């Protein structure tokens, strides 16, 4: 006969003990041992068996527990809070607390805050509709700040909207000069220029954006001349709406996860070499999750043929030092031809004799001339 060790526990009449009781009975365990194991009397076990309650309770799933709401001191003021929030949804909990206090509420601010969080009406979030652009129509531009052991660098990224082809380069500064230099390098890599470029309130490009208040977008005049030189339009996301530029926001996360995380770099040169290799072998040949195609294949097949032609020469800035923007380095000046000079070497005693020599007087010179005439 199977004997179980005696375990003294508080009697529990939940669903789990009934399941255990039925299992022990099917195993042939005596009712006395079962009663000791469950901490109940044998009379209770006989009562469950005689009434059929055991089979009925075990076959049905346990009922869900329903928490009974307890009355609180805030209950009389629920209507006041809900009415005020219905009219003014942005009222703060502190303001409502003061109004309820004036109406006689004796409770705490914490309890009122918890209730306000539950009942405050929340407007539906504005839907973000992802739109696809035609081949060659748009490219999206952004910076990503990255810290390395040797200093901070900025990843300048350009993504073509249709093919998702990615171009990347790291720079030590985030300036308009960097933007111009990077864009000219990207255009050269694409072998063309898209119709428009979309920026996310980049300070080097956008001076002020007053569109939310009915105003206009104010771009940097130097960058507008740069855009006119290369033949593209400047567009900017509305303030606090960077999600409309998702084609480049997602590659920034992809860059951090697929390229930067878990890699080691020896310096800027090694960083640039690894980034170029990653673009060539990983980022652009991969199958893109949205288009279902490799960005490079989609670009070569459909987007590169419709890009605008490159400008005949790099941009020459008006308001910036051209040597610091994108002009090619000037040719090195031809070396100066130095004539060959032969230096005669003499012993030091010659210089001593020269130091002791004194020039002749006028009378001595006249006498020397007379002697020369007489000899002639």
Q: pLDDT exceeding 70 applies to what percent of the chain?
A: 68
Distance CA 139, CA 165 (A): 9
Picking from 17-31, 293-307, 333-347, which range would have the lowest pLDDT averaged per residue? 333-347
Instruction: Report how far apart, in Å, the C-alpha atoms of 184 and of each of 30, 325, 327 are.
Output: 89, 10, 10
Q: Name the pLDDT band for 25 (thresholds 50, 70, 90).
A: confident
3-state DSSP call for residue 375?
helix
Position 362 pLDDT exceeds 90:
no
Fold of 138-324: Nucleotidyltransferase; domain 5 (3.30.420)
Q: What is the pLDDT of residues 113-161, one digit of tens each?
A: 999 999 998 876 655 556 678 899 999 998 899 999 999 999 999 999 8
* Greatest mean pLDDT range, 29-33, 97-101, 219-223, 348-352: 97-101
Cα distance between residue 121 and residue 117, in whole Å:
9
271 conformational bin, left if phi > 0, alpha if psi -120 to 50, beta if neither: alpha
Q: For residue 69, is pLDDT > 60? A: yes
Q: What is the pLDDT of residue 170?
A: 95
Nearest to 113 by CA among 135, 88, 87, 85: 85
Between 344 and 212, the higher pLDDT residue = 212
The pLDDT tens digits for 297-326 are 999 999 999 999 999 999 988 755 544 444
Question: Does residue 63 surpass a pLDDT of 90?
Answer: no
Q: Where in the chain are the domains?
A: 15-59, 75-119, 138-324
């Amino acid at each position: 006969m199977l004997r179980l060790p005696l375990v003294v526990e508080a009697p529990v009449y939940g669903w789990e003990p009934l399941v255990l009781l039925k299992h022990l009975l099917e195993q042939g365990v005596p009712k006395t041992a079962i009663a000791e194991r469950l901490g109940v009397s044998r009379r209770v076990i006989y009562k469950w068996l005689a009434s059929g309650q055991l089979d009925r309770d075990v076959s049905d799933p346990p009922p869900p527990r329903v928490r009974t709401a307890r009355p609180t001191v805030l209950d009389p003021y629920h209507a006041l809070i809900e009415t005020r929030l219905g009219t003014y949804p942005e009222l703060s909990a502190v303001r409502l607390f003061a109004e309820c206090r004036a109406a006689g509420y004796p409770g705490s601010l914490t309890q009122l805050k918890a209730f306000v969080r539950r009942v405050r009406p929340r407007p539906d979030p504005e839907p973000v509709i992802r739109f696809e652009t035609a081949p060659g129509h748009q490219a999206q531009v952004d910076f990503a700040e990255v810290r390395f052991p040797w200093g901070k660098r900025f990843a300048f990224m350009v993504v073509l909207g249709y093919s998702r082809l990615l171009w990347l380069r790291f720079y030590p500064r985030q300036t308009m000069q960097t933007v111009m230099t990077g864009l000219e390098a990207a255009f050269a890599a694409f072998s063309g220029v898209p119709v428009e470029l979309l920026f996310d309130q980049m300070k080097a490009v956008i001076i002020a954006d007053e569109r939310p208040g009915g105003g206009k977008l104010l771009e940097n005049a130097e960058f507008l001349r740069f855009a006119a030189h290369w033949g593209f339009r400047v567009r900017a996301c509305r303030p606090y709406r960077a999600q409309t530029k998702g084609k480049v926001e997602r590659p920034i996360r992809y860059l951090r996860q697929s390229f930067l995380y878990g890699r080691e770099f020896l310096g800027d040169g090694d960083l640039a070499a690894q980034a170029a290799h990653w673009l060539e072998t990983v980022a652009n040949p991969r199958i893109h999750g949205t288009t279902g195609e490799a960005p490079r294949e989609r670009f070569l097949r459909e987007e590169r043929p419709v890009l605008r032609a490159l400008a005949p020469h790099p941009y020459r800035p008006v308001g910036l030092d051209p040597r610091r923007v994108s002009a090619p380095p000037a040719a090195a000046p031809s070396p100066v031809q130095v004539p060959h000079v032969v230096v005669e070497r003499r012993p030091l005693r010659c210089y001593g004799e020269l130091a002791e020599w004194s020039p002749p007087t006028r009378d001595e010179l006249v006498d020397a001339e007379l002697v020369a005439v007489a000899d002639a």
